[in-house]
A and B are shown apart, each in its own frame.
Chain A
C-alpha cells in the first residue's frame, strides 16, 4: 500500500473527482499499465523457457487471465492469486478427465458459472 495504490483506488471509484483533487490520472494509469505489462513480460519469459515461443502464444493465457481476474474479483490482488490457483486446478483436473482440447471450454464454463452465481468474484467489491 503506497501513495500510487491509493490513487488507483481513487481513480477506479471516480476518475473525474480524483483529478479535481490533484491526481494526475494519465501518470497513475501509465504506472499501473507499465507495472502490469512488466509482470506479463516476466511471465512470458518464464513461459517461454518451458513451452515453445510463437507469435500466438498469448491467446490462451489471455482467456485464462480474464477468467482469473473475474474469479478473484476485479481489482483485488489477493483474489487474483486465489483465482489463479483455483482455475489452474480446475483446468488441470478437467484436462485429465475430459481431454486437453476441451480445456478452454471448461474455463469458459467456469467463467459463465461465476458470472451467474457471484459476479463480484471471491474478494471483489461492488
Chain B
C-alpha cells in the first residue's frame, strides 16, 4: 500500500515537472496557445463535473463563463481597473448569478434546473446583443488589456497553469472530502439523504455557486487572453462541448472531467483541418465512448490493463 502511494506521488511529481517545463522544451507558440486553452478547458470541465456529481445537468455553463468574461473585460476597458482586481470581481459576479438561479430552481425536483440554465445562455446572449452601448452588441468588446506584467504567451501559460492547478486541487479535495460524499449521495438517493437530515437544496446551491465562481474566474482569464470577446463565443455550443468533455471523461468524476478536457481539446485542435466534419467526428466519438465505455475514461481500470499486457508478454 505504501509502495503504491510512493509510486502515485512520483507520478504526480513527474507530471508537474512535465507541465511546468513545457515552454522550455517546446518553442512553438501554437503548442503554448493550445496548452493555455487546455488549462482553461480543464477548469471549465472540472467545475461542471462537480455539478454533474450531484446529479444535476447544467446546460448553461457558457452563460457563467460569459458572465465572468464580460464583467472582467467591461471593468478593465470602461473603468480601467487592473486585472488582479477584475479577476476576483468576475468570479463574485458569476457566483452571485449562480446563487440567484440556484436558490430558485435547485429546491425543485425535475427538469426545472436544466431548463433554467438552458434559458440563461439565450438570455445573456440576447442582452449582450441588445444593449449595443454597454456590451458592444454583436461585435462584443475589443482591446481588452492583458494582465499587467503578463505580455508573452509563455507568461500567460504559467498564469493559466497555476490557476488550473489551484482549481483542480480545490475541486479534487472537495470531491474526496465528506462534502463530496454528500454530493454523491445526492446523485444516488436524494430522498434517503434528506431523511438522514441533510439540507439538500442548500447543499446543491453551495456546490453550484462554487462551480460557477470558478467558471467565471476561468472566463475572466479567457477574456484577457483572447483580447476580444463577443456573444458568439458563449453560446449553447460551448456548454455542449464542456458537457462532452465531462461525458467522455466519466460523468461526475473530477479527474475524468480533466482527462476528457485535455483529450478532447487536443483532438479538436487536430481535427480543425477537416473543417465542418469536426463536430460530426466529435459526435461519433462521443457515441462510441458511450457504447464502449459507459463510465468514460475514468472507468478504465489501469491495473487490469497492466496485468493484461504482462500476460501477453509471458505468452
> Does A associate with B in a complex?
yes
Interface positions of A (Cβ within 8 A of B): 59-60, 62-63, 66-67, 70, 74, 99, 101-105, 107-108, 111-112, 115-116, 119
**Is the CB–CB distance between B108 and A105 below 8 Å?**
no
A60 to chain B, nearest CB (A): 8
Q: Specify which of B105, B110, B122, B125 lies most central, judged by the most chain A CB atoms within 10 Å of its CB.
A: B122
**Which of chain B's residues have a CB closer than 8 A to the CB of A101?**
126, 129-130
Q: Does B118 contact A (CB under 8 A)?
A: yes
B114 to chain A, nearest CB (A): 9
B131 to chain A, nearest CB (A): 9
Considering the complex, which residues of chain B in the window 86-135 have a beta carbon less than 8 Å from any beta carbon of chain A? 104-105, 108, 110-112, 115-116, 118-120, 122-123, 125-127, 129-130
**Which of chain A's residues have a CB closer than 8 A to the CB of B130?**
99, 101-102, 105
Q: How far is the CA of A62 from the CA of B120 in the complex (A)?
A: 13
**Which of chain B's residues have a CB closer than 8 A to the CB of A119?**
108, 112
Q: Does B236 contact A (CB under 8 A)?
A: yes
A83 to chain B, nearest CB (A): 13
B interface: dominant SS: helix
A-B contact pairs, 24 of them (CB 8 A): A59-B122, A59-B236, A60-B122, A63-B118, A63-B119, A63-B122, A66-B115, A66-B119, A70-B112, A70-B115, A74-B110, A101-B129, A102-B126, A102-B130, A104-B119, A105-B123, A107-B119, A108-B119, A108-B122, A111-B116, A111-B119, A112-B116, A115-B105, A115-B112
B40 to chain A, nearest CB (A): 25
Interface positions of B (Cβ within 8 A of A): 104-105, 108, 110-112, 115-116, 118-120, 122-123, 125-127, 129-130, 236
A95 to chain B, nearest CB (A): 11
Which of B115, B127, B236 contacts A111, CB < 8 Å?
A: B115
- Other 7 A-B pairs with CB < 8 A, given A62-B118, A104-B122: A67-B115, A70-B115, A74-B110, A104-B119, A108-B122, A115-B116, A119-B112
Residue on B with the closest CB to A102?
A: B130
**Which of chain A's residues have a CB closer than 8 A to the CB of B127?**
102, 105
Q: How far is the CA of A67 from the CA of B110 in the complex (A)?
A: 14
A103 to chain B, nearest CB (A): 7
Q: How far is the CA of A74 from the CA of B115 in the complex (A)?
A: 13
**Which of chain A's residues have a CB closer than 8 A to the CB of B108?**
115, 119
B201 to chain A, nearest CB (A): 13
Q: How far is the CA of A49 from the CA of B112 in the complex (A)?
A: 32
**Is the CB–CB distance between A112 and B115 below 8 Å?**
no
A64 to chain B, nearest CB (A): 10
**Which of chain B's residues have a CB closer than 8 A to the CB of A104?**
119, 122-123, 125-126
Q: Specify which of A66, A99, A101 lies most central, judged by the most chain B CB atoms within 10 Å of its CB.
A: A101
Residue on B with the closest CB to A103?
A: B126
A43 to chain B, nearest CB (A): 19
Residue on A with the closest CB to B125?
A: A104
Q: How far is the CA of A62 from the CA of B236 in the complex (A)?
A: 12
Report the 6 A-B pairs with minimum CB-CB distance, sorted nearest first.
A101-B130, A108-B123, A108-B119, A66-B115, A104-B126, A104-B122
